[in-house]
Amino acid sequence: MPKAFSAHEKETIRVQIRTKGKKLFEKQGLKKTSVDELTEAVGISKGAFYLFYDSKEELFLEILEELEIDFRARIFNFSISLQEDARKLLGKLLKSALLTWDQYPLLKNFGTREYEYLARKLPTERIQAHIKQDNAFVNDFIKGIKREGIEVKASPRVISNLMKSLFFVSLHRDDLDMNAYAESMEILADMVARYIIEGA
């Protein structure tokens, strides 16, 4: 039976698990990283690990969500000049968001197989909660571009689906060479920007 930890120890260990876990997941991926490796990196027993997380998949999703929070804060830091073409600037913003996403190794390497694996391993309600966070982000994104004076004609539901589509295309970057991927994302980002501003 794992030892009882003080509140301070619990917080310290949780931070260590996330920090070491992030490095291992970046290096080896979700599937190849074992709970044994995670506990060895932190210096705790396997039983102690399960005091903090029900599974390595739960840990992975928590780390993923922390990175997404940081990512979203970075792309929200924008300002659009009304003297310039709003559609082109919004297209650049969407493309920049995808490029910023690529600066996070864990996010960049999170492909379709990892997404499907995570969805199989975690409870449905946990995945649904994550989807709700994504939808909340899209709503905040729409509010942000409206504050910059850009008129939005597409519905939040459609914008959410279009942005998710860009994300899912990015999961298949390995199927294209980098030049083709960059060119395709620039065109798709511009098309999505046009629809957000002009509607159907």
Instruction: Categorize the per-residue pLDDT at 200 as very low, low, confident or very high, splitting at 50, 70 and 90.
Output: low
Instruction: Tell me: do 25 and 66 sit in the same domain.
Output: no
Nearest Cα to Cα of residue 68 among 93, 25, 100, 115 = 100
Considering only residues 63 and 174, tell me which one the structure prediction assigns the higher pLDDT: 63
Tally of domains in the chain: 2
Q: Which residues contact 118 (CB under 8 A, 6 or more apart)?
A: 30, 57, 60, 61, 127
Percent above pLDDT 70 for the chain = 93
What does the mean pLDDT of the chain come to? Answer: 84
Residue 141: per-residue pLDDT: 82
Q: What pTM value is reported for the model? A: 0.78
Instruction: Categorize the per-residue pLDDT at 2 as very low, low, confident or very high, splitting at 50, 70 and 90.
Output: low
Instruction: Tell me: do 90 and 40 sit in the same domain.
Output: no
Residue 76 pLDDT greater than 70, yes or no: no
In a 10 Å sphere around its CB, with 0-12 CB exposed, 13-18 middle and 19+ buried, how is residue 192 labelled? buried
Instruction: Tell me: do 98 and 134 sit in the same domain.
Output: yes
Instruction: Tell me: do 156 and 74 sit in the same domain.
Output: yes
Residue 156: per-residue pLDDT: 84
Instruction: Tell me: do 99 and 17 sit in the same domain.
Output: no
Residue-number span of the structural domain to which 48 is assigned: 1-53
Residue 95: per-residue pLDDT: 79
Instruction: Tell me: do 111 and 153 sit in the same domain.
Output: yes
**For 104-142, what is each residue's pLDDT tens digit?**
888 878 877 888 899 999 999 999 998 888 888 888 888
